[in-house]
Amino acid sequence: MTGWLKRAYVLAILLLLLAPLLVVTGVSINGPQTMRFPPVEPSLRWYGALFEDSAWLVPLGHSLLIAACASALSVAIALPLALFAWERNGIAARLLTGVGLAPFTLPPVISALGFMVFWMTVGGYGQIWATIVSHAVFLVTLPLVTISLGLKGIDRAFLEAARVMGAGRWTVMRTVIGPLLLPFIVSGYAFAFVLSLNEYIIAYMVAGFTVETIPIKIFNALRYGYTPILGVVSVLFVALAALVFGLIGRFGDLPRLMGAERSRRE
Amino acid sequence: MSADTDQRATPGWIGLWPALMLVVFFLVPFGIMLAVSVSQRDPAGAFIPGFELTHYARFLTAFFAKVMGVSVGVSLAAAAICVVLAFPFTVFLSSMSHRIQTLALVVLLSVLSLSEVIVGFSLSTLLSKTAGISNLFYWLGLIDAPVAYTPSLFALITGLCYIGFPFAVLVLYPPVSRLDPEIIEAARVMGASGPRAFFGVVVPNLRSAIVGAFILVFVFTLGSYLLPQLLGRSEDWTLSVHITDQAIYQSNLPFAAAMSIFLMLVALALVGLASLAGRQRGAA
Amino acid sequence: MTNLRIESLSKTFGTFTALDEVSLEIPTGKFVCLLGPSGCGKTTLLRVIAGLETPSGGHIFVNGEEQTKVPTHKRGMGMVFQSLALFPHLDVAGNISYPLAIRGADRAERERRAEELLELVRLPGMGARRIDQLSGGQRQRVAIARGLAIDPKVFLLDEPLSALDAGLREHMQIELRQIQQSLGVTTIVVTHDQKEALTMADLVIVMKDGVIQQAGAPMEIYRNPANPFVAGFIGTTNLLQCEIRDGAIEVLGARLPVAEGDRIGVAQGRAQLSVRPEHVAIGPPGGEIEAEIIFLRDLGESRHLLLQVGGQEINAQLSPEMHGAYRPGERVSLSFRPGERVVVA
């Protein structure tokens, strides 16, 4: 196959993936409260409306708070776990890594139900912090994978060199491992943040009736009929995800982060 | 203390905190779920501790068989379509420049991370009567009047492919990008045409990666719970939807828990199978 | 004065013995090369000295102080790693002044010292460069400067030049030796390259299977190897089965009387004769040992013959005055220069 055909194929698929998002963007700038494409009387008034409507602002606040805290906690669990497993091959390290990878590999409804019965049993059902902890544990896989990847790239000789030059364990961590790992910690946080923002079922089953998040709000709104704000919120979430991953791609090596071993010359 | 512990960058107790968190908030919930699955249903919403296997016995009913059939059927279809589309996509992508790869990955990750509710809403808009793609067909003169393509089984499978495709690419990406490009060049030098090199060299070399990806995408789409509700009809509801439905709306937590455990065992077995397929590649 | 003293040091990894009761003493300011094939324990010895491995037994003293229990980062060593291990997140000056920063030196002091060291390794003004902007040779120099930053008690280098190409490598050997001499720092270099050892070292220590085979000045080891392994490892040599009987060496069917300067390590009986290629002389056929020319290599500055005597292969390096027109298949006689023959057990 010629290079031209390959490029056309890749481009066509990417366009297909973007098509629904383009339609939603079009729909979101309809003037009247109708779902039309191409949009009629284009205006941004629904974007303004979103930020005046507490019915949407409250869930937005919930979503951002949960995402920010849950991904921080997620990193706080994943970082020591990755460090522990990095230098150890024993059964404990392997078991711990396996459990760390499991939440994200299983269908999320399983974890959701697990969290639901857990919080019902121990108390906390319907509380925002229960959602935060649940998200943190569910998403721990993401920072675990990125941080482990970063650790794999650290030459053991760096640590030995630092030790010979007089750095104790904590100093090695602060002056060598930390700076080298920071981009991977940040990407792990960003991945978890975006995923938490978009997560539905766990948030719904742990505290869906008391702590509404944006995905829950969209789903509820869909049942009561259409409003262009749905389009607006969707567009904002797509833009946010694209921004975060775009930044990771700009400042980090996204192909390598996704597991390509040979990163090509620029 | 032995030499090797001396030289480690981190003390062993560093593992205690993540272990504690994962045990308390991940393994314990599973234990509770297991207990719930054999307890007695409480119509008020919770459950009454006990031991009975009635909820597992319901797996033998026609209702459950139909749900399983639908779940497995739509997921298999979606996984097959995803992998067939994603494999050439990934192979082509991995030979392109770093910049284009990064750009494509940003699109894929953005789509993958989107909430199913947003994907469902977007697709139902795209397939709707008023703003959808049928308007384009009408305008082109292909059909007599705009129609709605949703809800339908077709819409559901389209939706599952939409979320499954980026996942398939990301699962295939590491093995594909590690494939030595020289083996393709070698095949070309020895006289193989482009398609022939692709099917004769690339596909066989990555066969177990393809099998692994197929299984993982299958599990991934099996976990979809909102798309069947947004894009499908009620007869297209999958196991995941029924688990939520039983837990929240039918107030039958024990049955939901039993189905979850069943789903988990299926998923674990399949993921294990997929990693086995991935390992065979290393041995070969 | 003795700088580094090692007493019956052992290190085992499972069932593998990397170091077997190694003892040695290194005077202050010496340049030492640990030489041996891969797996001989030389790198392990270096790492035990640095504290990166804990010995299974034995003691290490630096300036009379027992080191075995001292953790790596308190030993005050300098080290250059095989991979160099330059930190990619720090610039050149940041790398060089890292050990000073660890010890709390202030900014001005660090900058002054970094520039001083950069001048020493002939990279003045390069402090702000990123590591990935440097060539292989420049990285080498930065690693050396970093290892010397704190005036280490002992300067350790693990195959430091192995990644460089041949020309640059020879150049760096000379430069490293000059730097070491100007500072007078006790230096231990691990290498598997005997030429490198002969170029740089005051003291060569040849190791095999975790045991020191011979320690001495380079020329001493070259001229008077203690055993067949050392003879074969340092320079090239011909090792021939021989027998010592009544003050003569019986080899290849000939009887060669022992001459003044021959080093005979065996009084009587079977042994091995080591003769360097440059001490094999060729003459017209009809001598005591007859040989056939198998292969001829002309390297411009020197000429090498591969000869065969009754199934034995012998390398000869011709001196310039013996540059005759030889051809493969030709029969010649050969002799071993008296006074340059070494017999080892």
Tens digit of each residue's pLDDT (9 = 90 or more) over C228-245? 899 888 888 899 989 988
Contacts of C54 in chain B (CB under 8 A): 2-3, 6
Indicate yes or no: CB of B7 within 8 angstroms of CB of C72.
yes
Residue at A93 is within a domain: yes
Where does chain B show beta strands of DSSP type E?
40-41, 47-48
Nearest CA distance, A95 vs chain B (angstrom):
10
Q: Is residue A43 part of a domain?
A: no
**A-interface mutation test, from C89, C103, C157, most A Cβ less than 10 A away:** C89
In a domain, A28, yes or no: no
Alpha carbon A80 to chain centroid, angstroms: 20
For residue B53, being part of any structural domain is answered with no
CATH assignment of the domain containing A112: 1.10.3720.10
Under DSSP, is residue B223 helix (H, G, I), strand (E, B) or coil?
A: coil
What CATH number has the domain bearing residue B240?
1.10.3720.10
Show which subunits contact C, needing at least 3 CB pairs below 8 angstroms: A, B
| Domain interval for residue B232 | 64-283
Are B117 and A218 a contacting pair at CB < 8 A? yes
CB contact at 8 A, B116 and B226: yes
Average pLDDT (A67-79) is 96
Average pLDDT over residues A48-64: 88
pLDDT in tens, chain B (284 residues): 334 435 788 888 888 999 999 999 989 998 998 888 888 877 766 677 777 777 788 777 888 888 888 888 899 999 999 999 999 999 999 888 888 899 999 999 998 888 888 888 888 888 887 777 777 777 777 777 777 777 888 889 999 999 999 999 988 998 888 887 777 777 777 777 778 888 888 888 888 888 888 888 888 888 888 888 888 888 888 888 888 888 888 888 888 899 888 888 888 888 888 778 766 544 43
pTM (predicted TM-score): 0.84
Kindly determine whether residue A260 and residue B116, on different chains, have CB atoms separated by under 8 Å: no
**Segment A88-106, tens digit of pLDDT:** 888 888 899 888 888 888 8
CA of C54 vs chain B CAs: smallest distance (Å): 5
Name which of A22-31, A72-81, C74-83 the model is least confident about: A22-31
Note whether residue B269 is domain-resident: yes
Cis amide leading into A38 (omega within 30)? yes
Structural domain contains residue B1 = no
| Nearest C-alpha in B relative to A132 | B25
Residue B97 inside a domain? The answer is: yes
> Which strands sit side by side in the sheet containing C16-27, from one edge to the other?
C16-27, C2-13, C57-62, C65-66
The reply to whether A193 falls in a domain is yes
Choose between B189 and C332: higher pLDDT: C332
All chains having 3 or more CB pairs closer than 8 angstroms to chain A = B, C
Q: Is residue B132 part of a domain?
A: yes
Q: Does C89 touch chain A (CB under 8 A)?
A: yes
Q: How many domains does chain B have?
A: 1
Domain residues for A102?
60-257
Q: Find which of C19, C54, C56, C72 to mutate to test the B interface (most B CBs within 10 Å of its CB).
A: C54
- Integer-rounded Cα radius of gyration of chain A: 22
The residue of chain B with its CA nearest to that of C53 is B3
pLDDT above 80: residue A197: yes
Question: CA of A220, closest CA in chain C: separation in Å?
Answer: 49
Question: Which long-range contacts link B181-189 to residues 24+ away (Cβ below 8 Å)?
Answer: B181/B95
> Is B19 part of any domain?
no
Task: Check A10 against B111: CB less than 8 A apart.
Answer: no
How far is the alpha carbon of A172 from chain C, nearest alpha carbon, in Å? 10
| A150 domain-assigned | yes
Separation in Å, CA A234 to CA A203, A215, B118: 18, 9, 6
Q: How far is B13 from chain C (nearest CA, A)?
A: 20
The pLDDT value recorded for residue B4 is 41
- Give the nearest chain B residue to A118 (CA atoms): B29
Q: Give the pLDDT of residue C106.
A: 93
**What CA–CA distances, in Å, run from A132 to A129, A135, C257?**
5, 5, 93
Q: A178 contacts in C (CB within 8 Å)? A: none
B5 touches chain C (CB under 8 A): no
* Domains contained in chain C, CATH given: 2-228 (3.40.50.300), 237-344 (2.40.50.140)
B32–A114: do the CB atoms touch at under 8 Å? yes
Partner residue facing B2 (CB), from C54, C71, C72: C54
Interface contacts B/C by beta carbons within 8 Å? 8
Number of domains within chain A: 1
CB contact under 8 A, A245 and B109: yes
Instruction: Report residue B53: phi and psi, to 5°.
Output: -105, 15
pLDDT, average across residues A184-210: 91
Partners of C50 on chain A (C-beta within 8 Å) are 160, 164
Q: Closest Cα partner for C316 from C261, C333, C329?
A: C333
